[in-house]
Every structure is written in structure tokens, then in C-alpha cells.
Amino acid sequence: MMPAGRLSDRQVSVLHELGIDLWQLRENERPTASDQSDTMSQAPAAATLGRGAEISNPETARPDGDWETVHNAIRNCTRCALHETRTQAVCGIGNTRAEWLIVGEAPGADEDRQGEPFVGRAGQLLNEMLRAIGLRREQVFIANVLKCRPPNNRDPQPAEIAQCQPYLQRQIELLQPKVILVVGRIAAQTLLQVDKPLGQLRGQTYEYRGVPVVVTYHPAYLLRTSSQKAKAWEDLLLALDVMAKTT
């Protein structure tokens, strides 16, 4: 690790707020993401589990159209029973020209009320994690595998995921990110089409439709298990390294 002096005072402060004194950016891993990137490309992953199955379902048509069309379709979706218990669907938020895509599992109670992903305590920690690598929330795009909150925050059911996945596929097609950071077991297993535990998935680079994918712990898990924050920092450094290789 490089000395803390190579970090800005703000980044050092953020890392202390996260309770991780040893999170430190290496000189060659400085972020290069910009607020607006007019040129997007799909970069090959450094290592591959497999290309990731296409998000599709023979009974579910994939939505076409631009961002507004797709998000209107999400807001009015009745494909599964979750529309009966939601307050509102949570489409996603952020820069629609972002190089970074953050993918989580599903909205929670706060997200269901506000209509925005990652706005509770887990969202605050996610913001701090992004700030620690020099990114603001406004510079990335954040979405979930599931667009509606499962009752009592239960795990998503396979049928619900199958009905909702075409929305995420279209969002990825529209965004064309340079790297996808997947947070949490269910999101990782869904995107990569595997059933391995998250601990076995992290630490490597995968690929979804030509886009590098890095897996890390969900911020909600890190709030409960602070001992894993150092590993999450390693994952963020890996994502930064992947990004550096695509620019």
C-alpha cells in the first residue's frame, strides 16, 4: 500500500468515516471517470467466468425505446404480483452517459417510498464508497435487478426476477457502461447466471455482454459486518484497475 499522504484530505476523511484506515488508493489507480462521457465502449474483461447469459425470458418481451420509454414501462409494469404491494417502482438514477453502472438487488422500504435506489443507510455507505475512489453519486448510474420492493424485504423470487430482468438488460444496452459493479449475492448470481456464494465470486473480473463485471458486498451487509469492509475496498480497487485498462 502507498502512504496515506497520496490521498486527498477528503478521501482520508471518508475512509476514516467508513472505519477503514487501510483503504488507500495506489498512484496508478486514480479514477478517470468524468461527469459526461460522449464516447462509450464495451471493454473485454481481464478474466471471464463466461459471457453471462442473456437476460431474456420467452414469456417476457424486452422493452425497446429510449430511457424515458423504458422507465415509463417500469413505472407502469404489472408483470408480477409485486406491483400490487409497491408504493412505486424504482427505475434507477444517475448519469445516463456514465461509465460506471452499480447494480443492486431490489428496493427497500426507503427506496419504495422515495422512488430512488440506495437512499437509506446502505445508500449512504454506497455514496461514501464511491467518494473514497473519487466518484460522486451523480457520476454513476445506479439500478437494481428488481424494480419493485419485495414485501418485508424478502429475497426476490425466481419468477419475479425473470419478469424484471429485461428492464435491466435494456438499461445496460442504453448506458453502455465501461464497468459494472455488482453489489450483493443475488444481484451477482442473477447477472452472471451462477449459484456460487458471493465470497467465491469477488476478487475476479467477469464479463456481461462484453462489459467487465466486478462483484462486491452489498453496503447493507457491510453495515452489519464491518470486518468485510477491507475486502470491499479491494474490490473497489479492482474495479478502478479494470476502468483504467479500458481508457
Domain housing 182: 42-246
* 209-224: pLDDT as tens digits: 999 999 999 999 999 9
* 168-204: pLDDT as tens digits: 999 999 999 999 999 999 999 999 999 999 999 999 9
- The verdict on residue 7 lying in a domain is no
Main-chain dihedrals φ then ψ at residue 41, nearest 5 degrees: -140, 155
- The verdict on residue 25 lying in a domain is no
pLDDT of residue 30: 43
Confidence (pTM): 0.79
pLDDT of residue 116: 97
- The verdict on residue 131 lying in a domain is yes
Query: Measured between alpha carbons, how far is 133 from 227 in angstroms, rounded to an integer?
Result: 19
- The verdict on residue 3 lying in a domain is no
- The verdict on residue 49 lying in a domain is yes
- The verdict on residue 27 lying in a domain is no
How many CB atoms within 10 Å of residue 54?
12
> Which candidate, 240, 245, 244, places its Cα nearest to that of 11?
240
Q: Which residues fall within 8 angstroms of residue 77, CB to CB, at 6 or more apart?
A: 83, 89, 147, 148, 164, 167
Instruction: Domain count for the chain, please give it.
Output: 1
Quick check: 124 pLDDT over 90? yes
* 58-101: pLDDT as tens digits: 334 557 679 999 999 999 999 999 999 999 999 999 999 999 99
* 140-164: pLDDT as tens digits: 999 999 999 999 999 999 999 999 9
CATH of the domain at 150: 3.40.470.10
Sign of torsion, CA 47 50 54 57? negative
H runs (alpha helix) in 57-207: 67-75, 109-114, 121-132, 158-175, 185-192, 198-201
- The verdict on residue 30 lying in a domain is no
Q: Could you give the C-alpha distances from 111 to 7, 44, 122, 212, 234, in angstroms and in order? A: 32, 33, 11, 27, 27
Average pLDDT of 104-115? 96
* 2-61: pLDDT as tens digits: 334 445 655 555 565 556 654 444 444 444 433 333 322 223 333 333 334 344 443 345
Query: Measured between alpha carbons, how far is 46 from 61 in angstroms, rounded to an integer?
Result: 32
- The verdict on residue 10 lying in a domain is no
